[in-house]
Structure 1
């Protein structure tokens, strides 16, 4: 009996072991298949057989369904779960192990929605609308919000402006009567085709959010005036905008998740968030009394002429900050200021001439406001609009009698440097003056010393140029007095006069640049001659008559598409996607003919470069899957 018992104990057997819990944790309902691996361990000395069984209704699959675990080894059992919809999973699966009773292990998971939220900057409340209010055309209004990924998985997102949604307003004046608006059909057709992405921007407008990460989004509203054909700008040029901006995860364009075992479930209501944006663009309305053309009373130099100009801000919504640019001979007081909505400002415009003549100038008025910087995330105060006033006036000259006896042969024609005292009978002496210089050679009464050789090429010095004689003068020029013919003394200051070496150096320097300019001129003339020879007409008659039937070659469809694609401007980094643009590109792509033969591998450098590109979420969202070839 002892012997038989011992022999039973020596028979090899299997000893299988498996975990009792499979926990997937928190998952996102995006129809992805997640898996967990558990090990079935055999501690025995003989192979063991196992078999799995799941009788539930959830998309859970275990593989392999059965198998053999070798002695002193293990085998991986893979549990697959498809997170198709939000739910709390707590299922039991059975594993039959050889030589052991059946084991039930638990499968747990918490499936949540992939939620994108837009929160207020000051609080964690959800943001549904941003009201920019009223701004002048050419200025910008900036608001910020927080985009929040309230899910345990990273998400690629993109912002799309819905410019074709119901309830949107694109530049219409909502305060205008319907019959007046319908009267201007040209303007209505024009605003239908405006690109709203040029007025509203969002930075950043694409990216990747990590689990439970927040990012600050900057919205910029920069309205531009769309003219309706009217020359005069009035309050009717008001343009109101109401658009919707959608933030959505990349890949949720259709918004449907499909499962083979279950009906189609629409589950994208949390994968995107919609934001309303409203704002109005207003023109600058400044009225000037007595008008935009100011005629100042003529005055003499040193006097002034004033006009009181009343500037009225006719806008009832926004104040105006102005600044007068500086203009010669005119002065504005105050030069800059701020006029509140519906208020007036008295501005004193003065004409203070500093020279004689007629004046007709344009006075520029800068209207200053917040203008968005290049990054579209900040703004600075800059001139965004200019108003022009016209100033007209005359500065009259005046004359005085010269209280002195005129001697035009000796005295200068103008007796002071600023020209107030002008000789009134100057015309009588234009032919004869200066008489003393012309008649000096005939008189010899005052001659003291005569040296014909030294005074042969001498120049005549007037008596009143003594102050100018003390200067560094050219040694080659000689001066003598009018009557005595004595050489004029010229003082040369040795501290400022050129030395002989400096004179040679100056002359060499002048000759160098003279030669250099001559060389440049010769090169230019040579190039012009070569250009004439290159584009010269060939008068040889080859027998071709003008308009004799020659036609340009017709382009193929591929060449036309390539030229159109190259002419299209690419979407800028800060420019938003719009539903109209996506729809037009989708229609164009689906109607485009696809060649039968497709390349399996890139051959050209451009194709290789394109294949190595990593697409951004904005680019991925524009990928369109069309029909089969």
Structure 2
């Protein structure tokens, strides 16, 4: 390949003998002459023959341009070495102003070696030199000068970067790279040959074992070039997992739930923050063996009193803490600098102490510790023990304290939990005023009386402040005779966690019972009859019949006929026609009841005249014949629809029953009652059924340090009966190999060396 580069400019002044010469160009200084300037430009400034081989001929042109305003006589002098030859018929040339000429330089090497010479161009007494260079094929190696790993996490992982050495020449080139520092940096390969017009990848490995700022240098030697330095940079930081407040970005170290009734729940929220440049798998673990843990004890009582009840202390130590504290989600993956919201639910459970009565001062205090850990390579093999203890525990594990108090629901009733009402008759009322006191000074109580037959409560529901009272009127309103002994249920309402343990709903979480006792007696009042002889309108009082004195206390209805006229002969005169069938007999003063719009199929007649009463029909409000038919059709339609729904429901139940108790029609010769018994389930089968039903609940449960330790101990004791296979063969093995473990499952993986 032949190239040209640069230019040569000659500025000649008549009275000047000095000139300035640079590689690739010649620019003489302007000298004083007899008022005339002469200029000459030579292109290229040097003639270089690249990648030459012996026995071949190479040519390159050289151009001379007269920049002066008059003619100039130019003299060329041939190169000294015979490999270079100037292709001109005459070495003296005269060039007019503004014109240019081109000469050809020929190079024919006889050896595979670099050759150097020069070509001299003279103008009067001034001479310039054009270098002539003949180069054999060589390498031109190029490499990147900086390897930047960026920001890394100190998790003992090996990070790799690739750099490329490129050879732009036509001959192979040799390189060598060395690193003599103290950091875990490895360069591979450290030496090699790069072919012509090709490239080679060099791999630089760095182990991020601890936080530091890396700025190291490696020595790189490229063939044909001076020694250079390769800069290796990285910023290694800790993989920090943090717990932040919901309202601000301040770190959260403790969550106080405060007092909560046994059976109810309280929810708090926080945010898990990945303060590192790489994704992180995290898991939450309850430290149920931590120092300072309190589980159902009264922190206000003296130490000697607590130690006196060792049986209760041993009992609370075996309680599953995951039913008291829950955290959802308790595992997951966080992207770099990502935050996610987690929910803590506190549900205290009452653990009865046989030696202590549950009174107003009774309480159970809880202090639990929850640890958030990153899953994966945490403690590198390059770290010392002191670094593990201080740094790894500090940054890769976040501890959160959870405190709360469980209180019992205590209500005091005055006159007592048993209320004896005075006996009364049907329709009468017996009342007792009950005062309910909330003995808990810290929390209010919401109550609700369930409805009970023959008893009424006013008010049925309400709220009692801490240490406050409320008056409730309990009434006995019998609707039937008998002796009543009833348990009145009082529901205590509060916030209870849903099944997902991430939301609360108002539900009943506790019940209190009152005993109601009373008697409903039969009425023995004497009924005295009187006769009202007057015949007055029905709107004043009933006439012409016997009435009870206390009838005015009851609801008054206009009297109507209760006797069929066609079946009685009372006041039957010969002049009257034969009564209509099913005609009813009306009282003398029942017109207010018999003339109103009733069933049109009923007919009335008075006692004496037997003339049918007029039936008043208001056509503006009465049904027409078509409307009556449509109403009847609608009634039939809904009756048939309900009947159809009932049949479908019964068929569905029958199908489920047959599927549950399916049997074969094939007779296998077994006789009923011949002593054949169903096989009993083993303990393993029963545990399997229970485990399948509770899988969804256990999946959301927190890990505990005690359970992890017991699993590890059990795994160490377990004997390995078979070796590992290179490939899965059974369906069970294939299914297990296709599983993708969650961070919680990865955290429970135990590696044991036998």
TM-score range, shorter chain: 0.7 to 0.9
Measured after TM superposition, the shift of residue 135 of structure 1 is 1.5
Measured after TM superposition, the shift of residue 315 of structure 1 is 2.4
CA contact (8 A) 2:531 2:546 kept: no
Q: What secondary structure, in the 3-state scheme, does the structure 1 residue paired with 2:289 have?
A: coil
Q: What secondary structure, in the 3-state scheme, does the structure 1 residue paired with 2:392 have?
A: coil
Measured after TM superposition, the shift of residue 300 of structure 1 is 8.0
CA contact (8 A) 2:564 2:585 kept: no
Structure 1 Cα separation of the partners of residues 412 and 738 of structure 2: 60
C-alpha distance 35-597 of structure 1, shift in aligned 2 (>3 A) = closer
C-alpha distance 514-63 of structure 1, shift in aligned 2 (>3 A) = closer
Matches within 5 A, 1:207-606: 207-228=332-353, 233-235=358-360, 237-251=362-376, 256-259=379-382, 266=388, 268-269=392-393, 270-297=395-422, 307-322=432-447, 330-332=456-458, 336-340=462-466, 343-349=467-473, 351=475, 353=477, 364-373=489-498, 376-379=501-504, 382-392=507-517, 404-405=530-531, 411=545, 420=554, 441=569, 446-451=573-578, 454-455=579-580, 458-463=583-588, 465-470=590-595, 471-473=597-599, 475=601, 480-482=605-607, 487=612, 490=615, 496=622, 499=625, 506=632, 546=675, 566=692, 569-572=695-698, 574-587=700-713, 591=718, 598=725, 600-601=727-728, 604=731
CA contact (8 A) 1:288 1:312 kept: yes
C-alpha distance 463-312 of structure 1, shift in aligned 2 (>3 A) = same
Structure of greater Rg:
2
C-alpha distance 68-489 of structure 1, shift in aligned 2 (>3 A) = same
C-alpha distance 627-487 of structure 1, shift in aligned 2 (>3 A) = farther
C-alpha distance 447-626 of structure 1, shift in aligned 2 (>3 A) = farther
Q: What secondary structure, in the 3-state scheme, does the structure 1 residue paired with 2:229 have?
A: strand
Measured after TM superposition, the shift of residue 256 of structure 1 is 3.3
1:139 and 2:264 are equivalent in the alignment? yes
Select the residue among 214, 218, 233 that pairs with 1:89: 214
CA contact (8 A) 1:157 1:248 kept: yes
Please state which structure has a larger fraction of its residues in strand.
Answer: 2
Counterpart of 1:25? 150
Unaligned 5+ residue runs, structure 2?
A: 1-79, 83-114, 118-131, 534-541, 557-561
CA contact (8 A) 1:306 1:348 kept: no
CA contact (8 A) 2:436 2:472 kept: no
Measured after TM superposition, the shift of residue 243 of structure 1 is 1.4
Measured after TM superposition, the shift of residue 172 of structure 1 is 2.8
Q: What secondary structure, in the 3-state scheme, does the structure 1 residue paired with 2:156 have?
A: coil
Superposed CA deviations along residues 140-177 of structure 1, whole A, max 9, x for unmatched, are: 23333332222222211111111233332222333456
The higher relative CO (CA closer than 8 Å, separation ≥ 6) is in 1
Q: What is the total number of aligned residue pairs between the two structures? A: 601
Superposed CA deviations along residues 584-607 of structure 1, whole A, max 9, x for unmatched, are: 444555537665575825764x87
Structure 2 Cα separation of the partners of residues 13 and 280 of structure 1: 84
Structure 2 Cα separation of the partners of residues 132 and 175 of structure 1: 18
C-alpha distance 486-535 of structure 1, shift in aligned 2 (>3 A) = farther
Measured after TM superposition, the shift of residue 510 of structure 1 is 5.9
C-alpha distance 147-567 of structure 1, shift in aligned 2 (>3 A) = closer
Q: What secondary structure, in the 3-state scheme, does the structure 2 residue paired with 1:582 have?
A: helix
Q: What secondary structure, in the 3-state scheme, does the structure 1 residue paired with 2:530 have?
A: coil
CA contact (8 A) 1:169 1:243 kept: yes
Structure 1 Cα separation of the partners of residues 183 and 645 of structure 2: 92
Counterpart of 1:5? 116
C-alpha distance 439-546 of structure 1, shift in aligned 2 (>3 A) = closer
Measured after TM superposition, the shift of residue 460 of structure 1 is 4.1
Measured after TM superposition, the shift of residue 622 of structure 1 is 3.0
TM-score with structure 2 setting the length: 0.65
Structure 2 Cα separation of the partners of residues 287 and 464 of structure 1: 61
Counterpart of 1:163? 288
Structure 1 Cα separation of the partners of residues 637 and 337 of structure 2: 78
Counterpart of 2:743? 617
Structure 2 Cα separation of the partners of residues 619 and 415 of structure 1: 86
CA contact (8 A) 1:30 1:84 kept: yes
Superposed CA deviations along residues 239-262 of structure 1, whole A, max 9, x for unmatched, are: 22221101011125xx53224x98
Structure 1 Cα separation of the partners of residues 506 and 673 of structure 2: 64
Counterpart of 1:105? 230
C-alpha distance 576-553 of structure 1, shift in aligned 2 (>3 A) = closer
Counterpart of 1:16? 141
C-alpha distance 627-438 of structure 1, shift in aligned 2 (>3 A) = farther
Measured after TM superposition, the shift of residue 43 of structure 1 is 3.1
CA contact (8 A) 1:40 1:76 kept: yes
